[in-house]
Structure 1
Amino acid sequence: MSIRELESLVAIADSGSITAAAERLFLSVPAVSAQIASLEAALGTPMLDRRYKPARLNPAGTLLCERARAVLNSYRQFYETVANTADLAGVLAVGASPTVLTTVIPKTLVALRSAHPRIQIRMQYGRAWNLLKDLQHGQIDALIISQPPVSMGNTQWTQFAQEPVTVIAPPGAKGRNDESLLAEYPYIRFGQRFWVADTIAAHLAERGIVPQQIMQADSREAIALMVRHGLGVSIVPESDPPLSKLYGLREVALGKPPLTRNIGLAQTPGNPKQALIDALLHGLTEATVSSRMKPAPSRSLGGT
């Protein structure tokens, strides 16, 4: 029985399938299947109920999974205690929403690698709710996300930046302000599955603005191209460099004062990699200062 085999078992339990577990662990499906087969051979009993598609943990697998989590946590604590005796070192698994700080994150990773070459960063992008579950299950160590709309249990979120939310319009659009642009052009809605979409919708409703929505897209870049070709206007978090510069669009602040979304780092208390997480947060704050994004007074939100 090996640590890798236990990691595969826990990943299947948390993600729901061997395929999803393989993606999470950055392994092939056959590799994860082989690790489970080896674990079953060592224990002399199946861990999965293969009558279901996808296969799921059987009672024996569920019982072992509970013990495996404790073993893996002890292993990580042991590893980090030894690795951190001299300099910051170890593997830090970091999740991020694909819409958040697309320039700041790479700058941070470059600076972090230069300052602490023994730190290895494993980035994982996905939907915020899924990544929060990964964080709470110990699959990732930290998560770069916008401010969650609800309590996150024992998860702590520390704000370090603000992103403006802006109206983007075709080159040469003649509307005087955000309201006139939204009234005169069809509306391309930015990804309903992102938290910022609800923030935007609430802002528009509060002002009594009802745009004529014609379509929806999850990618800022895809929306920018549609706007550039005159299909309509949209409301998106500002990027760095701004979409107006990259695609020649007109960009107007949304609201007075302008609407922003708060960006922060989420973590769970008691992580043995706290020193690495602190270094990451420091790097993100420094990179934000040197970018077009607005640094925010550091503040924390903890669940109850």
Structure 2
Amino acid sequence: MTSLPATALTVATVQADPVPGEVAENAVTAARLARRAADSGARLAVLPELFLSAYHPPALAADPAGTDVAADPDALVVDPRLDPVRAAARDTGTVLVLGAAVRHPDQRRTISALVVDRAGTVRVGYDKQQLWSEERELFTPGRRGATLLVDDWRFGLGICYDGCFPEHGRAAADDGAHGYLCPSGYVVGSAHRRDVYYAARALDNTMYVVFANSVDGTAPWRFNGGAAVYDPEGRCLVRGADTGEDVLVATLDPEQLARTRADHPMLADRLADQGPRRALVTG
């Protein structure tokens, strides 16, 4: 297994209500929230799924050109609408993970996690692999997973529905992840699943999970917040309310990660092959 981090890392998870279709306005909001996270000591901040456009399928369908950001062949994004976000990352030294609709050079359109590094460079970090329902009408699934390095911490990247699949989180753990970052968009009425899936991914893989979510909005695209950070046993360290903008901060502790993995060595004990199954027939 990959070695454990040497130092703690303070992270922020965000719940907020972006304006459908208004990328420039939402970038200003993202920058404000990133600065708020940094003021609370965060070195990494995670914002919700599709935050730059808002998770609003009618707006995404009506104006693809206006709601997408374009990536170049090296996965760089140079859209000037993101200048406030670049400045926030540079000024604060905080890495940002930010949801966006991305248009690739081959014209694929993906739900993606942008990574804004401490120099203010914006890259496409990961394209959502597991598309939910009508997302399939607007987007193409991602082709591969991704692991983000922040200081000496390794984070698997997932987006919303990805986190509903145990194998997605396990693939991150298999790549040595100490944590799993999940920008998401859970609507009102899904709080039970919201609160189970990401805690389970943490416990399954003895890793931290940072879950960000949109909040409020207008039905049927009304979201339920609950942004949270889970420890490697799936216990909630911080959680937002079901309504209202918030920035929640927690510190990821390498000693706790080490203790949990020593006490609950599922990753080490996992069988490489579960063997053939046999059918049992009752009379």
TM-score (norm 2): 0.25
TM-score normalised by length of structure 1: 0.23
Task: Name the structure with the higher helix share.
Answer: 1
Name the structure with the higher strand share. 2
The structure showing larger relative contact order (alpha-carbon pairs under 8 Å, at least 6 residues apart) is: 1
